[in-house]
Copies of this chain bind each other. A is one copy, B any other.
Amino acid sequence: MSNLSLDSAARIVDAALEHARTLKLKPLTVAVLDAGGHLVAFKRQDGSGILRPDIAQGKAWGALGMGIGGRALAERAQKAPAFFVALASASGGRVIPVAGGVLIKSGGDGVVGAVGISGDHPENDEACAIYGIEQAGLTAQPE
C-alpha cells in the first residue's frame, strides 16, 4: 500500500527526537506521512501545544501536496500569499507553508512520504526532520 514502512517511519520519529534532545530544543511534535498523505507514525512530546499535531501534519502534507519541501513553500507563500490562502481553503487547512516539512525520498521509488515537525524555530524543526530521515537510511528533500 505504501513504500514507506512503519519501521522506517518509527525510526525517523525517534531519531528526530534524539536530535532535538541533543540540541536542547523546545518540546516537539513529529509526524510522518506516507506518499498518499496518510499518517504512519507520530509522537508529541510533553508540553507541546494542542495545535502542534495539525501544524506538524500540515507541514508534511503541504510538502507532499505540492511536491516541494516546506522551506520552498515558505518562500513561495511570501511571494504569492493569495495563492496560499486559496491552497489552505482547497486543502481543508492541510497545507502549512513553513520550514520543517521535509520530503522523504528512497533510491528507486522517488518520494515515499514526508516528515513534519513543529515546536521550535522552523529551521530547528527542519534540522531534526533531516536528521531523522538520514538515520533511517533515506534521503531528505527540505526544499
Contact = CB atoms under 8 A, between A and B. Distances in A.
Interface of A: 1-3, 5-6, 9-10, 34-55, 58, 62, 64-67, 77-78, 81-98, 110-111
Contacts of A52: 65
A11 to B, nearest CB: 12
B97 A82 contact: yes
A48 B67 CA distance: 7
Contact of A44 (B38, B82, B90, B94): B38
A84 B77 CA distance: 12
Which interface residue of A43, A44, A65, A89 has the most chain B CB atoms within 10 A?
A89
A53 to B, nearest CB: 5
Contacts of A1: 35, 46-50, 110-111
Contacts of A81: 81-82, 85
Nearest to A67: B49
A27 to B, nearest CB: 8
A65 to B, nearest CB: 3
Given A54-B90, A81-B85, A84-B86, 14 more contacts: A1-B35, A1-B47, A2-B36, A6-B46, A36-B37, A39-B42, A48-B67, A55-B90, A81-B81, A82-B85, A83-B96, A85-B85, A86-B97, A92-B92
